[in-house]
A = this chain, B = another copy of it.
């Protein structure tokens, strides 16, 4: 499987297999955006890409892992690494960028559908953690490490829990749809986390 390299410039003499892979990913990305994951079939992707179904199954074991690759480049590229010198500003910028990417957009629907699909597709669940959750958290961890380095929060803070608080809360509104992802929501979520973290509540109790 593996993420396809997508160079910015078309080269002459591109190998046939790379052309096929790009055509498949483009077709899958279009179908995902137009109709959503539930309606997307390998048959449709093959037909739109002009390839045989076996050409797809040779590269991707399930439609979920194919959709993941089609989704990935777009999504991670839209998530910045803010570095304003202030934890509250950095977290606000990161969460605002995420909300902008997912609220009412095809990307948001694809994100929700991929998490949904991962609940019953173990290959996709593993790929999702390795290729979306992992890289996104590596980026957000830096924001918290910068805050530790500046002395804003204790160096024993549980940064994993702080990241779960920030994005888990936001994913919750995306997936459950009970309340909107407003800017006031972003500001209050960040304010509670920053106040708690600065108070040392994410660190082990001092003996």
A interface list, Cβ under 8 A from B: 36-38, 112-113, 115-120, 125, 128-129, 133-134, 137, 158, 160-162, 164-165, 167-173, 175-179, 184-185, 188-189, 191-197, 199, 201-202
A192 to B161, CA, bound (A): 9
Q: Is the pair A119, B112 in contact by a Cβ cutoff of 8 Å?
A: yes
A159 to B147, CA, bound (A): 27
Q: Which residues of B contact A113 (CB under 8 A)?
A: 119-120
Q: Is the pair B176, A175 in contact by a Cβ cutoff of 8 Å?
A: no
Q: Knowing that A115-B119, A168-B168 are A-B contacts, what are 10 other residue pairs whose CB atoms are under 8 Å apart, sorted by A's residue number?
A: A38-B119, A116-B118, A116-B119, A125-B177, A162-B192, A165-B169, A168-B172, A188-B201, A191-B202, A192-B193
Q: Which residues of B contact A191 (CB under 8 A)?
A: 196, 201-202
Contact of A194 among B38, B194, B201 (CB under 8 A): B201
Q: Is the pair B128, A176 in contact by a Cβ cutoff of 8 Å?
A: yes
A120 to B117, CA, bound (A): 10
A72 to B175, CA, bound (A): 19
Q: Which residues of B contact A175 (CB under 8 A)?
A: 115, 119, 171, 175
A196 to B188, CA, bound (A): 10
A170 to B176, CA, bound (A): 13
Q: Which residues of B contact A137 (CB under 8 A)?
A: 178
Name the residue in A117, A168, A178 with the highest tally of chain B Cβ atoms < 10 Å from its Cβ: A168
What's the minimum C-beta distance from A118 to chain B, rounded to whole angstroms? 8
A38 to B125, CA, bound (A): 15
CB-nearest residue of chain B relative to A171?
B172
Q: Which residues of B contact A128 (CB under 8 A)?
A: 176
24 contacts between A and B (CB under 8 A): A36-B120, A37-B120, A112-B119, A113-B119, A116-B118, A137-B178, A160-B179, A161-B185, A162-B192, A164-B169, A164-B172, A164-B179, A165-B193, A167-B172, A168-B170, A168-B173, A169-B169, A171-B176, A172-B172, A191-B202, A192-B202, A194-B201, A196-B201, A199-B199
